[in-house]
């Protein structure tokens, strides 16, 4: 069982991905302004902290395979996107590792005929670098 501090830290780390902080006293009985785990104006953020999640086992196995593949430009290793679907239900739940998020955003935009300027591409990469730097600082 995770300690109280561990799951609070996990919620805060997750919320920071989207430029916000964790919501104290979140949940369906919350009096803090929302039932989600983050104080975001647009997104409902739900964090689950556990010793293990089945999707991580799937991710690790898939990542081993993807690391051996080459991208179109010859770069070794492909970002992993796992799509979870339920029989008879519409929609796909996407599971993406945070470090792969910028590359996935770019490919999603391209696939949907959104022209992405070099400046926008640079900004997406810069946002990812800033996030990685912030994570390193928090880990110390």
Q: Is residue 102 part of a domain?
A: no
Strands 93-96 and 81-84, by their bridges, are: antiparallel
Averaged pLDDT, 75-80: 90
CB 21 within 8 A of CB 39: yes
Number of domains in the chain: 1
Q: How confident is the model at residue 29 (pLDDT cuts 50, 70, 90)?
A: low
Sign of CA dihedral 69, 74, 79, 80: negative
78 pLDDT band, cuts 50/70/90, is very high
Give me 95's structure tokens.
């599971």
Predicted local confidence at residue 60, as pLDDT? 95
Q: Indicate whether 42 belongs to any domain.
A: yes
Q: Write the pLDDT tens digit of every residue in 88-109.
A: 999 999 999 988 888 899 889 8
Distance CA 127, CA 131 (A): 6
Q: Does a structural domain hold residue 6? A: yes
Is 73 contained in some domain?
no
In a domain, 66, yes or no: no
Mean pLDDT of 58-83: 92
Query: Does 5 or 91 have the greater pLDDT score?
Result: 91
Q: Determine, yes or no, domain membership for 24.
A: yes
Structure tokens at 53: 């999640």
| Structural domain that includes position 9 | 1-51
**Could you tell me if residue 20 is inside a domain?**
yes
């Amino acid at each position: 069982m995770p300690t109280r501090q561990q799951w609070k830290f996990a919620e805060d780390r997750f919320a920071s991905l989207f430029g916000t902080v964790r919501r104290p006293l979140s949940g369906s009985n919350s009096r803090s302004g929302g039932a989600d785990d983050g104080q975001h104006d647009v997104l409902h953020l739900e964090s689950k902290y556990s010793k293990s999640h089945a999707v991580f086992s799937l991710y690790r196995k898939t990542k081993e395979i993807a690391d051996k593949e080459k991208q179109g430009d010859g770069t070794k290793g492909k970002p992993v996107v796992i799509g979870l679907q339920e029989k008879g239900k519409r929609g796909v739940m996407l599971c993406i590792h945070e470090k792969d998020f910028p590359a996935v955003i770019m490919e999603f935009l391209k696939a949907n005929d959104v022209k992405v300027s070099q400046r926008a591409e640079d900004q997406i990469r810069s946002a990812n670098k800033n996030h990685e730097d912030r994570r390193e600082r928090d880990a110390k």
